[in-house]
């Protein structure tokens, strides 16, 4: 396991200790719901935990890292070939019913060799209603020696009938200091850039990784370039801005989050400038904070939230962005 994974697991010690204690007392629930934003170590913890639960060399189960890494079980695990560690991830954009049917079939057999068979469902919020109901049936009559770990951001991301059958284990966002140190491991990065990334990542190493990529730095520069002079944009420019933003479906959540941080910063600058996220745009944020009334910035934030909701309900994304950019801040102080 690499350093960052190790450090993340250490950071999540409280959640890990809960699991290890339950295991030692032989009280491990058969279904667990790991919750927390992406990039805080939920999957790594699930994998490490299933490894230590199955190590054949009697590891010290009060320590998550005590699996030997050499026994038959550990070796199969490390090569990703363990027949009793079943990982299910979305096929395309959903965990489909065919995947859960196949799982159900697999679970009719006893575990091949493991003391504890694990079924890890990644992004479990992407289960279709059909899949979720099929999984619920399995959870209602769990097969022997089998544990389920469902990974989601929030408890409410799965049906209540499912979450009520799972013990929730919360994973907290990583601290800014943690992310900053992680980003600084790359020697080419300047401390102020690392600090900005840490604030922008909201405690997620996945986001910290994305924001270090040129693609996202370029996107961010473009978006902020437009936002800082928004009152001067013509209708044509607003429409083309909307078109750019809507271009790639997968990028939209992060784009909206960036836009949100911008308005958040403009709003809080006049109260506590030291708390802004986009510290490298401090001057432009200051200029905007002087220009706009608090109320219009708050309305703007609400509009971005509306787009976030609209897009979840599959509204046409270009239209949603056009609506947003056409109605954006015009009202000056
Ligand atoms: Zn082992």
CA of 53 to the centre of ligand 1 (A): 9
Contact between 155 and 33 under an 8 Å Cβ cutoff? The reply is yes
CA of 42 to the centre of ligand 1 (A): 21
What pLDDT was estimated at residue 208? 94
- Environment class of 55 (CB within 10 Å of its CB; exposed 0-12, middle 13-18, buried 19+): buried
What class, spelled out in words, does domain 3-170 have in CATH? alpha beta
Please provide the size of the chain in residues. Answer: 333
- Environment class of 259 (CB within 10 Å of its CB; exposed 0-12, middle 13-18, buried 19+): buried
CA of 101 to the centre of ligand 1 (A): 31
Q: 213-327: which CATH topology?
A: Zinc Finger, Delta Prime; domain 3 (1.20.272)
How do the domains of the chain map onto residue ranges?
Answer: 3-170, 213-327
Q: Tens digit of pLDDT for each residue in 213-257? A: 999 999 999 999 999 988 888 899 999 999 999 998 889 989 999
1 vs 248: which has the higher pLDDT: 248
Quickly tell me which residue has 């809080």 as its tokens: 268
Quickly state the pLDDT bin for 67 (edges 50, 70, 90).
Answer: confident
61 vs 105: which has the higher pLDDT: 105
Q: Tens digit of pLDDT for each residue in 283-321? A: 999 999 998 889 989 999 999 999 988 887 778 888 999
CA of 54 to the centre of ligand 1 (A): 7
Q: Tens digit of pLDDT for each residue in 94-124? A: 999 999 999 999 999 998 888 899 999 999 9
CA of 73 to the centre of ligand 1 (A): 6
* Residue 79: φ, ψ to 5°: -85, 0
Quickly state the pLDDT bin for 1 (edges 50, 70, 90).
Answer: low
Quickly state the pLDDT bin for 176 (edges 50, 70, 90).
Answer: very high
What pLDDT was estimated at residue 187? 78
């Amino acid at each position: 396991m690499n350093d960052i994974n190790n450090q993340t697991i250490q950071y999540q010690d409280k959640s890990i200790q809960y699991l290890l204690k339950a295991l030692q007392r032989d009280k491990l629930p058969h279904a667990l719901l790991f919750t927390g934003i992406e990039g805080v170590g939920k999957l790594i913890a699930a994998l490490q935990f299933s490894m230590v639960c199955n190590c054949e060399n009697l590891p010290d189960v009060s320590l998550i890292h005590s699996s030997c890494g050499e026994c038959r079980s550990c070796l199969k695990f490390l090569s990703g070939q363990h027949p009793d560690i079943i990982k299910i991830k979305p096929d395309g954009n959903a965990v489909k019913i065919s995947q859960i049917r196949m799982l159900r079939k697999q679970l009719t057999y006893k575990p091949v060799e493991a003391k504890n068979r694990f079924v890890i469902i990644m992004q479990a919020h992407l289960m279709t209603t059909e899949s979720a109901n099929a999984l619920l049936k399995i959870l209602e009559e769990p097969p022997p020696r089998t544990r389920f770990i469902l990974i989601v951001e929030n408890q409410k991301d799965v049906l209540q009938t499912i979450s009520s059958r799972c013990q929730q284990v919360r994973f907290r966002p990583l601290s800014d200091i943690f992310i900053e140190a992680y980003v600084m491991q790359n020697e080419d990065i300047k401390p102020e850039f690392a600090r900005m990334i840490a604030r922008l990542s909201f405690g997620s190493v996945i986001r910290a990784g994305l924001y270090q990529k040129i693609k996202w730095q370029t996107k961010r520069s473009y978006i902020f370039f437009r936002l800082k002079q928004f009152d001067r944009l013509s209708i044509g420019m607003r429409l083309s801005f909307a078109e750019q933003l809507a271009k790639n479906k997968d990028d939209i959540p992060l784009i909206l989050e960036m836009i949100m941080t911008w308005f958040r910063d403009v709003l809080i600058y006049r109260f506590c400038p030291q708390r802004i996220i986009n510290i490298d745009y401090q001057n432009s944020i200051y200029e905007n904070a002087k220009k706009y009334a608090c109320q219009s910035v708050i309305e703007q934030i609400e509009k971005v939230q509306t787009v976030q909701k609209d897009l979840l309900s599959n509204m046409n994304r270009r239209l949603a962005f056009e609506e947003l950019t056409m109605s954006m801040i015009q009202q000056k102080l």
